Amino acid sequence: MRNGGPVRLRHVQLKFRIRASADAAWAALHSPEVLAALYGPLIVVEPVLPDEGDASVLHTAVRLRLFGRIPLGTQLIGAYDETREQGGETVRILRDSGIPLTGPLAALDVWDHRMAVSALPDGGALWRDRLVFGGPTSALLWPALWLTWQWRGWRIRRLARRWA
């Protein structure tokens, strides 16, 4: 609830096959280099506050810049791993419940990003990537986040060829 009314949640999501094993995709999900490569060169992602705490939880702040020059703000990443069984298959999920701290996305007060990988019979992997977000500017930000997710999907499919 915000100001007594419900928060309208929006989402963007992707679901596609990649040419890498589920193990390789899972390792890539935990790589800071892959995170930076997903958005580059469009958006440059730089760590601000790495936390050397619990190895099972990734807590860091990153600075985002459009084309490496125009500040887009900072984002807190609060990620942890989950495993679920679905239809007899193991699905590994990296969940980021961090939040934008500064910049245009800071008006969002809900940020739930889940990236899931599961093995396919052909040795490849099924990749699912869903962001649920909400806040007073979520309707205005949805088109930009949708475009960003299309870029992410394109980059993931290209990068995954090298993860195999």
pLDDT digits (tens, 9 = 90+) for 99-115: 999 999 999 999 999 99
Task: Report yes or no on 4 lying in a domain.
Answer: no
Task: Report yes or no on 89 lying in a domain.
Answer: yes
Task: Report yes or no on 1 lying in a domain.
Answer: no
The CATH number linked to 60 is: 3.30.530.20
Residue 2 pLDDT > 60, yes or no? no
Considering the entire predicted model, what is its pTM? 0.85
Query: For position 55, what pLDDT does the model report?
Result: 45
Mean pLDDT of the chain: 88
**Nearest residue to 120 (alpha-carbon basis) of 156, 141, 148, 91:** 91
Task: Report yes or no on 54 lying in a domain.
Answer: yes
Q: How many domains does the chain have?
A: 1
For 39-60, write each residue's pLDDT tens digit.
888 899 888 865 555 443 466 8
Residue 23 pLDDT > 50, yes or no? yes
Q: Which domain holds residue 154?
A: 9-163
Task: Report yes or no on 62 lying in a domain.
Answer: yes
Q: What is the enclosing helix (H) or strand (E) of 118?
A: strand 110-119
Task: Report yes or no on 39 lying in a domain.
Answer: yes
* Share of the chain residues as helix, strand and coil, in percent rounded to the nearest 5: 30, 45, 25
